[in-house]
Structure 1
């Protein structure tokens, strides 16, 4: 039993979030209720692809022959280090490539935004037959390349520096669990490569005020020392912004809302200690000014035990 609990604490769970109209892909390890053990470092790559043909222009669902199918491929390096058993430091850096199957708009590619998170178990308590954890997460993301956000829906990101605060509750009974979280995203203004732009009125400036956003996530399923199988539902809501005007391109400060359903599977191998494989799938079931996307991804992760190395150095 103790061995299984320790092994569970090593698990890292990845969820691919298709949040924006431009189909930027963010793989998040900060969204689950699991923690990395002290002096353990889990690192690895993920790759994924998403695509959409239909999208919501405001609340009106349509397609666009000038775009055809818009697809996004992403590769990301991710890591999670256990500072203590209850305090983790996480990071992620994605490379994004976009393209459209029709029209003259050229796809974009490049490194997107570096994300760093601090994850802390603020409270843990046995309630009934299960264990409840309250987890606080703080995060920050910043662009690492000079990509243009003004080419939606083929931009690789929105180029806005973002601060994130999240509260997560995770309840586990045996091998079954449920996790709920709520996030507030503070987004900085974005500078365009032009001096005027139009939203619902004319703006004679190159600075765009970005509305903040909220993100709510529910996930539940089976979580053992070897397998994680979970169903996921989440909702991204932009707190402000405006709708895409008729037959026009999207703009970075549009109201972008999306409700998604997905599944996450993880296998922690027995033949190589610390090696795990993950697979994810998700689809957008409702939205506003976003593409009705479907995405798939997979990854490989390995856990490095620095505590053993430290003990060996001390013995020497």
Structure 2
């Protein structure tokens, strides 16, 4: 069976490496004094958009959008029951508008910069863990904040279709349940809420995951969802061209794989696709990451 410390590294790498981010936290704890650092690169692309009332071909103004992300992540076990997780990405968004459109609207096809820093605390008290035969069931609670650190803009009207973020601060609370078998098969389920400051809509988030973890390989499949509880639709009633206030719903499916190279280093890769949504691009993304554990 895979060692707990390695499994924690794998799970952290898989969660944080994708440009089309999964949940910011997972069902594994690092352990006191242990942690890892991850450098990753990901890319996603879309030329269709889920608007209301239907999916449309072509991204308004920009025709298609490609988003790449170079990210730095770190996690550390403060105690055996408490972890801290932090991440910050550098994002580049590129559109494909014609030169005539760019000139007429005074737009640009590229926006890039450092986006938002996020910091989460995860707590898993011993009282929230139990054994069921040779398997185990554990529960984790997490709270985190994400806030802009770059000087990017999100208030440029239709130019902000390719903005790299919504320039808003959010606070998230997440509950996680995880079941692991002795053979290495595991499943996790989580549910949480995201509270947006000022103009950013509130939302519910959820994720289910089924995976297998062994000493030489880790694989998982996941299905994630976000449902906004406030906000307006793009080009709908109440929309004034300020994109941060739009509600963003999505259902995303994906696969991840991790292979250790040596004791302290491993590589991860994966893909995900948004299969349904509201006010979001129908994107497919891929990523790769390099992790160092200590």
**Fold match by TM threshold 0.5:** yes
SS of 1:125's partner is strand
Deviates more, 1:97-106 or 1:159-168: 97-106
How many aligned residue pairs are there?
276
Change in Cα spacing, 1:265 to 1:119, as seen in structure 2 (3 Å) is same
After superposition, where does 1:293-308 map in structure 2 within 5 Å?
A: 293-304=283-294
1:160 and 2:129 aligned: no
CA distance in 1: counterparts of 2:73 and 2:31, whole angstroms: 17
SS at match of 1:90: strand
Query: In structure 2, the residue corresponding to 1:14 is in which secondary structure?
Result: helix
The TM-score, its normalising length taken from structure 2, stands at: 0.87
Following TM superposition, where does structure 1 have runs of at least 4 consecutive aligned residues deviating by more than 6 angstroms?
Answer: none
- Seen in structure 2, the aligned counterparts of structure 1 residues 153 and 69 have a Cα distance that, compared at 3 Å, is same
Which residue in the other structure is 1:222 paired with? 212
Q: Report what 1:49 is aligned to.
A: 43
Structure 1 gap segments, 5+ residues each? 19-23, 190-208, 305-316
Q: Which is worse superposed, 240-249 or 140-149? A: 240-249
Q: What do the CA deviations read for 1:205-256 (whole angstroms, capped 9, x no partner)?
A: xxxx332111101111111233210001011111111211279967221121
Q: Give the counterpart of 1:111 among 104, 111, 114.
A: 114
Note closer, same or farther for the CA distance 1:236–1:251 as it changes in structure 2 (3 Å cut): same
After TM superposition, the structure 1 = structure 2 runs for residues 105-254 of structure 1, keeping only pairs within 5 Å, are: 105-106=107-108, 107-122=110-125, 123-150=128-155, 151-174=159-182, 175-189=184-198, 209-245=199-235, 251-254=243-246
Please state if 1:278 is matched with 2:268.
yes
Asked if the contact 1:94–1:113 (Cα under 8 Å) also holds between the matched residues in 2, the reply is: yes
**Considering only aligned residues, what root-mean-square deviation do their CA atoms show, in Å?**
2.2
1:106-154: CA deviation from partner (whole Å, max 9, x where unpaired): 2210000000011111311112431011001111111002211124321
Larger Rg: 1
Q: 2:81 aligns with which of 72, 79, 86?
A: 86
Cα distance in structure 1, aligned partners of 2:211 and 2:83: 23
Gaps of 5+ in 2: none
Rounded to whole Å, the distance in 2 between the matches of 1:15 and 1:214 is 18
Q: After superposition, give the CA deviation of every residue in 1:78-128 in whole Å (9 maximum; x if it has no partner).
A: 001111222111100000000111242422100000000111113111124
Cα drift, residue 27 of structure 1: 6.4
Q: Could you say if the C-alpha distance between residues 139 and 187 of structure 1 is closer, same or farther in structure 2, counting changes exceeding 3 Å?
A: same
Aligned to 2:67: 72
Q: What does the per-residue CA deviation read over 1:256-294, in whole Å, with 9 as the maximum and x for residues that have no partner?
A: 11101000111122xx21111111200011111111000
Which residue is equivalent to 1:206? none
Indicate conservation of the 8 Å contact 1:48/1:74, yes or no: yes
The answer to whether the Cα contact below 8 Å between 1:153 and 1:250 also exists between their aligned partners in 2 is no
Q: What is the CA–CA distance in structure 1 between the aligned matches of 2:250 and 2:242, rounded to whole Å?
A: 15
TM-score (norm 1): 0.81
Q: Give 1:57 shift.
A: 1.8
1:297, CA displacement in angstroms? 0.6
Whichever structure has more helix as a proportion of its residues is 2
SS at match of 2:97: coil
Q: Give the alignment partner of residue 258 of structure 1, picking from 234, 250, 254.
A: 250
Instruction: Name the CA distance, whole Å, in 2 between partners of 1:96 and 1:171.
Output: 35
